[in-house]
Amino acid sequence: MAVYTGKSLVVLFGSDTLTHVRSATVNHSIDLVEKTAAADTTKGYATTTKDFTATVEVLHDDSTDLFDSELVPGASGDLLIRPEGTASGAVVLTCPSIISSVEFGVPYDGVVAVSIGLQGNGALVVGTQ
């Protein structure tokens, strides 16, 4: 696979395609439990359950009602992140999620941006379109 930029990024939440997307970030992790015994000289760990969080930053568009009804804390659905766009064979991350936060940033000298925080609610799947 070749390296690519995020210029072709497409993000959907449920059936809604998000507009004016600036970035999408997914933090996929696994919980660890310490299993060190009394005679051990170094700590040991065992893996338990996987988890992920995601953040999507978009420019606020006051011509849409997405922030009134669909993109609100507590809403759930599949977050689809398509970093290479929508072409056949391109990467897609399917992230069943619950929106945990919606943060509006209103800078004095810039555009109004919204940061949408999501909590994983199932298995993150990395595949192709």
What pLDDT, in 10s, does the model give residues 21-68?
999 999 999 999 999 999 999 999 999 999 999 999 999 888 877 777
pLDDT at 1: 55
What is the mean pLDDT of the segment spanning 83-104? 94
pLDDT at 12: 95
Q: Does domain 6-28+45-128 have CATH number 2.30.110.20?
A: yes
Give the start-to-end residue ranges of the domains of the chain.
6-28+45-128
Backbone angles phi, psi at 60, to 5 degrees: -70, 130
pLDDT at 20: 92
The structure's pTM equals 0.88
pLDDT at 49: 97
124 CB neighbour count, 10 Å cutoff: 18
pLDDT at 70: 83
Q: Are strands 21-34 and 45-59 parallel, antiparallel or unpaired?
A: antiparallel
pLDDT at 68: 72
Q: Which runs of E-coded beta strand occur in the chain?
A: 10-13, 16-17, 21-34, 45-59, 76-82, 91-105, 113-120, 125-128
Q: Which amino acid is at 51?
A: D
pLDDT at 105: 86
